[in-house]
Amino acid sequence: MELKEKLITSFFELENKGTIDLDSNIHQIRSKAFTDFETKGFPTKKNEEWKYTSLKSVLNQDYTVFPKGENVLELKEVRKYFIHEIDSYKIVFIDGIYSSFLSETTHDGMDICLMSSALKKPKYKIIIDHYFNTIANKNESITSLNTAFSNQGAYIHIPKNTIVPKPIQIIHFATKNDENLLLQPRNLIVVDENSHVQIIERHQSLSDEVVLSNSVTEIFANKKAIIDYYKIQNDTKNASLIDQTFVQQKDHSVVSVNTFSFGGKLTRNLLEFHQNGERIESNLNGITFINNKQHVDNHTLVKHNKPNCVSNELYKGIYADSATGVFNGKVIVDKIAQKTNAFQQNNNILIGKKASINSKPQLEIFADDVKCSHGCTIGQLDEMALFYMQQRGISKQEATGLLLYAFGNDVVEKIKIPELKSRITKLIAQKLGVKLGF
Amino acid sequence: MNKYTEDDLKKELETQEYEYGFYSELDSETFPKGLNESIIRAISKEKEEPKWMTEWRLDAFKIWQEMEEPEWANVHYKKPDFQAISYYSAPKKKEKLDSLDQVDAELLKMYAKLGISVNEQKRMNNVAMDIVVDSVSVATTFKKTLAEKGILFMPISEAIQEHPELVKKYLGTIVPKKDNFYAALNSAVFTDGSFCYIPKGVHCPMELSTYFRINEGGTGQFERTLLIADKGSYVSYLEGCTAPSRDENQLHAAVVELIALDDAEIKYSTVQNWYPGNSEGKGGVFNFVTKRALCEKNAKVSWTQVETGSAVTWKYPSCILKGDNSVGEFYSIAVTNNFQQADTGTKMIHLGKNTKSTIISKGVSAGKSQNSYRGLVQIGARAQNARNFTQCDSLLMGNECGAHTFPYIECKNNSAQLEHEATTSKIGEDQLFYCNQRGIDTEKAIALIVNGFSKEVLNKLPMEFAVEARKLLEISLEGSVG
């Protein structure tokens, strides 16, 4: 049976299971999204947004939509996937099911909890009705698919004037299953006026089994809110991730989303920023470092809807072996968004003989008093620099490692959690096969 | 003294008239409107074409019928009704002309108005010209001088008669019939255009030039240019176009094919000034053009274009860098005003080793216009050490216009080096202030800045054309360029 048909029957199964409220507003949104997916189907390469990424190899598998039972993981098995050096709130899912044992949630002054309970309990209704699915891309059929099945994920609501004392980690584990897993987590993050939060998100498969995660996160930053969001993507060779993040910002807010793509079979990141206020700062950073036949597609959109806003975008890519990369950076400046500063940079190094990159930095500007620029480079390591280092007794491998590390360092430096920074440094060093003694 | 501000400039831009909008009363022969097989046969018959050519056209027509009009470009317009266009219009000639003196007096008057006196051109400038009015070529100068060097420069209709072997060999090889909707249409109905062949090792002693003019109403212009530079030769080719002001939208769908064989160099410059429509966006020419060049070993093709006219432009002069060490260049200034829309750029397809390409694109948008750069740089898996540099800058005047860039970069080789940069800005207040401080009034300052902004491209134009291009910029942005 084709995956699409399977999903259609699964949707009816979901409706009949009795675990969700069929009369709620949310279910109306689900049904609408489902019809949308049903008509459009999965995106193909004919779709301009999917021109360079084919989902064929991912979709021709058979997936289990609803995992059978709860799997238990020992903390020591998975400890290394957490940033365990620091205290943090944790929301952990195992095969799509919430693990209360590994998690650490709170309702004390803020809500760091589960989507499923937030959807059910009346006290969250106002927030859910006000925000849920308001900024998710309605044209993207794969986003609609997530919306149709949205039930589980993280729900974070930080009220006014609150600084969340420790970072929040959202981790999705996939354990060894006999069947291929399709996970569709749905996260909602609302940060109210003058509050600050740091979030780390990770999708991790614990085996070489086939896993497909279709994740959607909606982030709302109200006035003067500050959000730092980190995505660690270092999955196993048969795990694929379609990650969609939608951010809406109000006046004076600062949101940074940092994406670290180090592995997985196919990774597709869609990141959209909608600036609906003045004097906003949006930061989009990313490092992609992949090898073998891995594929990473970074799709970003920044919509400047109001005047006096800033956006900074910096994506670096290192592609080894036969890895393929895609960068599509779109910046749209509305007619009224005068005094916009939009900066975008995409640098790529191809080290693999069969590696390739498709880059499409795109500017659409309708206002005149703006400063917008984009730069894109594709190249290799500087032979002279390599030679210089070898002359001084540094092995070629180490020299290459150092230079590549330096290449990605601009992005690493932007990490504001020191423990995470050293973790990312270690991950890069590991990938480079060198020791970095700093 | 009233201060000249950007608002004034904007106002001037909006009210600026199209200088070449006159219509000349020429006795002409026009085919009935509509497109079908018999029209194509009739065009072919009118041109006294051999059978293979007729077949070729009919084949293209069949392909065209099955195609759909493309919609991906960032332009919005009412699609032309292909049955409401007359596909052939020619100034009536009593007999074949032997020399320029016999050219229709009205026609000569028209060219005088356009600022190109055919006779004067003949004497003064070292430029050989081919002039195409509506659908047919009316005059070609310097034919003899060129013939001495073995250079063939003639209307393509003549070339089909006189040099069928060359036309047959190359026509449609670079832009195949089924390449795109408009190329297919052009292949079916093209009526004239220029044909040029530079033999081995010949350095063409003068600039070759074609002037296009749409005169009749209700017609479309479909010209086809085929330029072949044989091994080790060099040619510089110029192209200019104008049309009368009309309320209707006229269609111009041309195909240009350039072939640069080993070690050859082609420099192709265009000054496009089709009627852009009035200040309300009514009328104007739809300019849907396919231009492509093939570079063999060590060959070099350089496209330079100044785009100021047309209501809608859809044009991507491209280079296929097939041979090793070949070089492709693209220099463009696109100026849009009022309701003009331009979606233009280039494609650089790197296939050979050590191939190099440079893209410099400058866009100036004013009024309510939309100006897009759309480009593709593609590095094939075997294109070792390919190199590309791309720069696209946009200048915006007023907050009702838009500037967009859609660059596609596809790299499949790890020894390639690519750079791409793009900026968008308006004329800086500090720049103006700096000029004002030094006693340069605002109008001159804007002129200075726009001129400087487009200098990199203007410098690439041949002398004769640089002057004209500068003049055109003046017309398009009068008050800003001095």
pLDDT of residue A344: 93
A391 shares its domain with A268: no
Nearest to B9 by CA among B341, B441, B319, B357: B441
The helix/strand/coil state of A28 is: helix
Residue A283 belongs to some domain of the structure: no
CB-based contact B421 A357, cutoff 8 Å: no
Asked whether B458 and B481 are in contact (CB, 8 A), the reply is no
The answer to whether residue A82 sits within a structural domain is: yes
In this prediction, residue B20 carries a pLDDT of: 63
Residue A41 near chain B (CB below 8 Å) = no
Between CA B37 and CA B463 the distance in angstroms is 44
Of the CA atoms within 13 Å of residue B131, those in its CB half-sphere come to: 27
Domain shared by A109 and A224, yes or no: yes
Residues of B in contact with A358 (CB under 8 A): 408-411
Contact A375 B420 (CB under 8 A): yes
DSSP letter (8 states) at residue A227 = E
User: Nearest CA to CA, how far is B385 from chain A (Å)?
Assistant: 10
Which chain B residue shows the shortest CA-CA distance from A318?
B414
What would the mean pLDDT of B319-330 be, rounded to a whole number? 93
Q: How far is A41 from chain B (nearest CA, A)?
A: 21
Contact A290, A323 (CB under 8 A): yes
Contact A376 B407 (CB under 8 A): yes
- Out of A362, A367, A378, whose CB is closest to B411? A378
Q: How far is B173 from chain A (nearest CA, A)?
A: 27
pLDDT digits (tens, 9 = 90+) for B413-468: 889 999 888 888 787 788 888 999 999 887 778 777 877 888 888 877 776 667 66
pLDDT higher than 90, residue A317: yes
Percent of chain A exceeding pLDDT 90 equals 47
Q: Average of pLDDT values for A222-245?
A: 92
Compute the mean pLDDT over every residue in chain B, rounded to the nearest whole number: 79
Interface-testing mutation among B374, B396, B424, B431, with chain A (most A C-beta atoms within 10 A)? B424
- Decide if A185 is inside a domain: yes
CA distance A42 to A240: 15
- Partners of B415 on chain A (C-beta within 8 Å) are 380
ipTM above 0.90, yes or no: no
The whole-angstrom separation of Cα B228 and Cα B202 is: 12
Q: Is A375 within 8 Å of B414 when comparing Cβ atoms? A: no
Given a contact cutoff of 8 angstroms between Cβ atoms, the answer to whether B31 and B88 are in contact is: yes
Residue B264, classed as helix, strand or coil, is: coil
Q: What is the number of domains present in chain A?
A: 2
**pLDDT (average), residues A27-50:** 88
pLDDT score of B380 more than 60: yes
Question: Do the chains contact at A368 and B397, CB–CB below 8 Å?
Answer: yes
Residue A364, chain B, CB below 8 Å: the answer is yes
pLDDT, tens digit, for every residue of B42-62? 888 877 888 888 888 888 888
Minimum mean pLDDT range among A292-306, A364-378, B6-20: B6-20
Q: Is the pLDDT of residue B217 over 70?
A: no
CA dihedral B2, B4, B8, B13 (to 10 degrees): 130
Which tens digits make up the pLDDT trace of A183-218? Answer: 999 999 999 999 999 999 999 988 888 899 999 999
Q: Does A213 reside within a domain?
A: yes
Residues of A in contact with B425 (CB under 8 A): 370-372
Q: Which pLDDT does position B114 carry in this prediction?
A: 56
pLDDT tens readout for residues A396-437: 888 998 899 889 888 999 999 999 998 898 888 888 877 766
Residue ending a domain, among A240, A258, A277, is A277
Do residue B424 and residue A373 have CB atoms under 8 angstroms apart? Answer: yes
Hey, are the CB atoms on B411 and A350 less than 8 Å from each other? yes
Which among A236, A260, A277 is the end of a domain? A277
Pick the range with the lowest mean pLDDT from A229-238, A416-425, B100-109, B246-255: B100-109
The verdict on a CB contact (< 8 Å) between B420 and A363 is no
pLDDT digits 0-9 by tens, A260-285: 999 889 999 999 999 999 999 999 99
In a domain, A114, yes or no: yes
Q: Nearest CB to A377: which of B408, B412, B419? A: B419
CB contact (8 A) between residue A364 and residue B404: yes
Tell me the count of A-B CB pairs closer than 8 A.
116
CB contact (8 A) between residue B419 and residue A376: yes
- CB–CB of B445/B433 below 8 Å? no
Radius of gyration of chain A (CA): 21
Q: Is the pTM of this model over 0.90?
A: no
Q: Give residue A435's domain range.
A: 381-438
* pLDDT tens by residue, A349-377: 998 888 999 999 888 988 888 888 888 99
Say if residue A10 is in the same domain as residue A145.
Answer: yes
Contact at CB, B404 and A362, closer than 8 angstroms: yes
Single-letter amino acid code for the residue at A265: K
For A183: left if phi > 0, alpha if psi spans -120 to 50, otherwise beta; the answer is: beta
Q: Which residues pair with B129 in a beta bridge?
A: B209
Residues 6+ apart with CB under 8 A from A121: none
Within a domain: A303: no
B234-288 pLDDT tens trace: 998 888 766 666 666 778 888 999 999 999 999 998 888 777 777 777 778 888 8
How distant is the Cα of B109 from the closest Cα of chain A, in angstroms?
42
Where is A131: in which H helix or E strand?
Answer: helix A125-131
Distance CA B264, CA B229 (A): 6
What residues pair up with A280 in beta bridges, in sequence order?
Answer: none
Of A112-121, A343-352, B3-12, B116-125, least confident by mean pLDDT is B116-125
As a whole number, the mean pLDDT across chain A is 89
A372 touches chain B (CB under 8 A): yes
Which of A363, A374, A377 to probe the B interface (max B CBs under 10 A)?
A: A363
End-to-end CA distance of chain A: 52
**Cβ contact (<8 Å) for A368 and B409?**
no
pLDDT per position as a tens digit, B329-346 = 999 988 888 888 889 899
Residue A406 and residue A320 in contact, taking contact as beta carbons nearer than 8 Å? no
Contact B326, B351 (CB under 8 A): no
**Backbone φ, ψ for residue B239 (5° rounding):** -145, 135
Instruction: Output B233 or B116, whichever has higher pLDDT.
Output: B233
Of the candidates B403, B418, B420, the beta carbon closest to that of A365 is on: B403
Tell whether A12 and A134 lie within a shared domain. Answer: yes
| DSSP-based three-state secondary structure for B457 | helix
Using the Cβ of A375 and the Cβ atoms of chain B, whether some distance falls under 8 Å is answered with yes
Beta carbons of B404 and A368 less than 8 Å apart:
no
Pairing verdict, β A97-98 and A89-94: antiparallel
pLDDT of residue A228: 95
**pLDDT value for B443:** 73
Do the chains contact at B425 and A372, CB–CB below 8 Å? yes
d(CA B194, CA B140): 10
Q: How far apart are CA A100 and CA A418, in angstroms?
A: 27
Q: Which pLDDT score, from 0 to 100, does residue B99 have?
A: 47
In a domain, A344, yes or no: no
Of A277, A311, A337, the residue that ends a domain is A277
User: In the predicted model, is pLDDT for residue B125 greater than 50?
Assistant: no
